[in-house]
């Protein structure tokens, strides 16, 4: 089984598998509780098999990842191999990304190579605030070099986060690490590394737009927010100057594609821009066809 790009109506570049097959969550309980409060209801975490069933029914492909933040949280991650194997069972709809805590150092570099080579991983997810690191810290450059070399994209959380929101000390999470200007510098140092700046980057929306405009290898994903609440400049540029740089993402399960797509319908966008955002830009960003 492989992705049948023509048969798919969309590609969702941002979904989470944060529950292992044995019921172990990727986040420690107190951060999980903060997130549930921020998103109003505790959203039940789906397994990889459940994600596949949901997306297959809708003829949407989905990039799936967990987040490894063990150095900052002390909480053991879900194994990337498990996520990758789950995606391999559903390779008609799921695209596996891996998450490596950059604090793992050389071990992360070796794991990145092994995950792509032996486990079919197609990209990497970073969450600077949750993982507690400056993306431009030179200590982590060997990891980006490996990812650039492997020819797969790196997706970075950007802007505010629900994780830790409202908890004392914000659960120890620092928002500052998720400023998209960090990616501007990485884009200079790693011009062949495709980067996806995830989410409307509030409070740095204009920064994200400027970076995506200036650096050919930086894309923006529209996940984590209902399109109803997108900042107006994001909609305006998605419809014009950045129409080839903006990607559909939901952040499933916190936002379902059903809701996201229904609200996306209501946005004032040119007809020719919709298929770019929903599918065609992702084909390029994810390297799904030889270009």
* CA 272 from centre of chain: 25
| CB-CB neighbours of 97 under 10 Å | 28
Closest CA to 209 of 217, 220, 222, 193: 220
- How near is the Cβ of 251 to Zn ion at its closest, in Å? 4
φ and ψ at 132, to 5 degrees? Answer: 65, 55
Q: Which residues contact 239 (CB under 8 A, 6 or more apart)?
A: 268, 269, 270, 273
Per rule CB under 5 A, is residue 251 in the interface with Zn ion? yes
Q: Which is nearer to Zn ion, 27 or 261 (CB)?
A: 27
Residue whose C-beta lies closest to Zn ion: 251
Q: Which stretch in 66-74, 115-123, 200-208, 244-252 sits in contact with Zn ion by CB under 5 A?
A: 244-252
- How near is the Cβ of 5 to Zn ion at its closest, in Å? 24
- Please report, in angstroms and rounded to a whole number, the separation of the first and last CA atoms in the chain: 22
Residue 112 structure tokens: 């990145």
Q: Which is nearer to Zn ion, 13 or 109 (CB)?
A: 13
Of residues 82-121, those binding Zn ion (CB under 5 A): none
Question: Which residues, in sequence order, are bridge partners of residue 196?
Answer: 155, 219
Question: Are 238 and 273 contacting, i.e. CB atoms less than 8 angstroms apart?
Answer: yes
Q: Which stretch in 33-41, 66-74, 162-170, 245-253 sits in contact with Zn ion by CB under 5 A?
A: 245-253
- How near is the Cβ of 110 to Zn ion at its closest, in Å? 26
Question: Are 61 and 262 contacting, i.e. CB atoms less than 8 angstroms apart?
Answer: no
CA distance 5 to 10: 9
Q: Which stretch in 90-98, 113-121, 180-188, 247-255 sits in contact with Zn ion by CB under 5 A?
A: 247-255
Q: Which is nearer to Zn ion, 18 or 184 (CB)?
A: 18
Closest CA to 176 of 142, 139, 135, 214: 135
- How near is the Cβ of 109 to Zn ion at its closest, in Å? 24
Q: What's the DSSP call for residue 172?
A: G
Q: Which is nearer to Zn ion, 102 or 249 (CB)?
A: 249
| CB-CB neighbours of 250 under 10 Å | 28
Question: Are 161 and 135 contacting, i.e. CB atoms less than 8 angstroms apart?
Answer: no
Q: Binding residues for Zn ion, how many (CB under 5 A)?
A: 1
Q: Which stretch in 3-11, 71-79, 249-257, 262-270 sits in contact with Zn ion by CB under 5 A?
A: 249-257
Q: Which stretch in 103-111, 146-154, 208-216, 246-254 sits in contact with Zn ion by CB under 5 A?
A: 246-254
- How near is the Cβ of 229 to Zn ion at its closest, in Å? 16
Q: Which is nearer to Zn ion, 97 or 140 (CB)?
A: 97
- How near is the Cβ of 34 to Zn ion at its closest, in Å? 15
Applying CB under 5 A, the residues found at the interface with Zn ion are 251
């Amino acid at each position: 089984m492989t992705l049948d790009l023509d048969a798919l109506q969309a590609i969702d570049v941002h979904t989470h598998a944060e529950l292992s097959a044995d019921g172990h969550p990727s986040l420690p309980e107190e951060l999980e509780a903060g997130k549930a409060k921020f998103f109003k209801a505790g959203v039940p975490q789906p397994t990889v098999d459940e994600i596949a069933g949901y997306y297959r029914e809708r003829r949407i492909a989905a990039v799936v990842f967990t987040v490894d933040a063990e150095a900052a949280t002390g909480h053991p991650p879900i194994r990337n191999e498990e996520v990758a194997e789950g995606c391999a069972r559903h390779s008609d709809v799921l695209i596996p990304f891996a998450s490596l805590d950059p604090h793992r150092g050389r071990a992360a570099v070796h794991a990145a190579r092994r995950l792509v080579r032996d486990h079919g991983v197609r990209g990497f997810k970073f969450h600077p605030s949750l993982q507690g690191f400056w993306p431009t810290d030179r200590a982590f450059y060997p990891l980006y070099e490996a990812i650039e070399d492997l020819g797969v994209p790196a997706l970075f959380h950007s802007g505010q986060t629900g994780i830790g929101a409202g908890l004392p000390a914000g659960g120890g999470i620092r928002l500052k690490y998720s400023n998209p200007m960090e990616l501007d510098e990485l884009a200079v140092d790693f011009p062949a590394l495709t980067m996806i700046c995830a989410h409307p980057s509030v409070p740095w929306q204009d920064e994200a737009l400027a970076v995506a405009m200036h650096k050919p290898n930086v894309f923006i994903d529209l996940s984590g927010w209902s399109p109803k609440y997108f900042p107006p400049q994001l909609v305006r540029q998605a419809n014009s100057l950045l129409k080839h740089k903006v990607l559909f993402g939901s952040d499933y399960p916190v936002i379902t594609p059903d809701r996201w797509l229904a609200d996306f319908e209501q946005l004032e966008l040119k007809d020719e821009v919709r298929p770019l955002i929903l599918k065609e830009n992702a084909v390029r960003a994810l390297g799904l066809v030889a270009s």
